[in-house]
Amino acid sequence: MSNDLPGAADLIVTAWKNYRRHLTTYLEFAAWYLVLAVVQWGVILAARGTDGFWSWADVMLLGSLPVAVAGAFATAALIDNVRRSLDDEAAPVADSFRAAWPRLLPFVAVSLLVFLAFLGGFLLLVVGMLVFLVLYRFSSYAVVVDGTSPLAALGASRRLSSGRFWPVAWRLLAVSAYFGVLANLVGALIFAAAGTALGDAGLFFGSVRDWSAASGVHLLALTVIPTLASVLVLPLMTAADLAFWKSLKSAR
């Protein structure tokens, strides 16, 4: 049955083709994430100006929680948008946000459940982490695309790897490694460009990466640039995941 599944290279090629066709749309999503990164920067600045651990923690919690929820909303909308584009449907960004709105709470809930499962895997060391990452990789897609409840989504995702765990696992690991390296490379290049603009190409590769000692401008770069690198690659990873998820469902 695993021979019927697309290889990691096929998934990567599919993701790149979709990315090129809809680059303008994904840049629009990137702008949403960058706005949230700037807001998070403001939260960090506010927290850094407080006295005492609990005051710092209160500001970080109260400020970061809405940013995290808004980020989850954008991610759910992106999943919907990428799914539409892979299916050759019209995919305006506004339509995807409207479609994602009723799925937001289930999406947040399933994300928390996956995190708890991952935490349980962490306690079982690397093998446990790998198992849970593979078993529940597709649960958020089941929530956003199929409208499945969080608990049912976990079961649906788990069943997709039943009897073919390792063929699924190595494809997920290969694709994740490819796009993970790409995101880090993009981030390093942007950091180098930002440092060059400020007079030192290596500025953001040394002690300045400690946010507590960074100036406001440096802190802005340290907050925004990793977000930018991640969101530029996120549509690629999402497209590869959705293409694989669709093939797993059809090959059951």
Q: What DSSP line would sit under the chain, residue for residue? A: -GGGSPPHHHHHHHHHHHHHHTHHHHHHHHHHHHHHHHHHHHHHHHHHTS-SHHHHHHHHHHHHHHHHHHHHHHHHHHHHHHHHHHTT----HHHHHHHHGGGHHHHHHHHHHHHHHHHHHHHTHHHHHHHHHHHTTTHHHHHHHH---HHHHHHHHHHHTTT-HHHHHHHHHHHHHHHHHHHHHHHHHHHHHHHHHTT-TTGGGSGGG-GGG--HHHHHHHHHHHHHHHHHHHHHHHHHHHHHHHHHHHT-
Share of the chain above pLDDT 70, in %: 91
**pLDDT of res. 212:** 59
Write down the pTM of the prediction: 0.91
The pLDDT tens digits of the residues spanning 154-211 come to 999 999 998 899 999 999 999 999 999 999 999 999 999 988 988 878 778 765 545 5
Gap between the Cα atoms of 134 and 116, Å rounded: 14
Whose structure tokens read 């953001």?
A: 204
246 vs 209: which has the higher pLDDT = 246
Tokens standing for residue 241: 């995941």
Whether the predicted pLDDT of 249 surpasses 70: yes
The pLDDT tens digits of the residues spanning 85-109 come to 999 998 899 999 999 999 999 999 9
Whether the predicted pLDDT of 125 surpasses 80: no
Give Cα 120 to chain centroid, integer Å: 21
Whose structure tokens read 């999406």?
A: 107
Whether the predicted pLDDT of 1 surpasses 70: no
* Mean pLDDT of the chain, nearest integer: 90
pLDDT interval class at 119 (50, 70, 90):
confident
Q: Supply φ then ψ for residue 6, to 5 degrees.
A: -70, 150
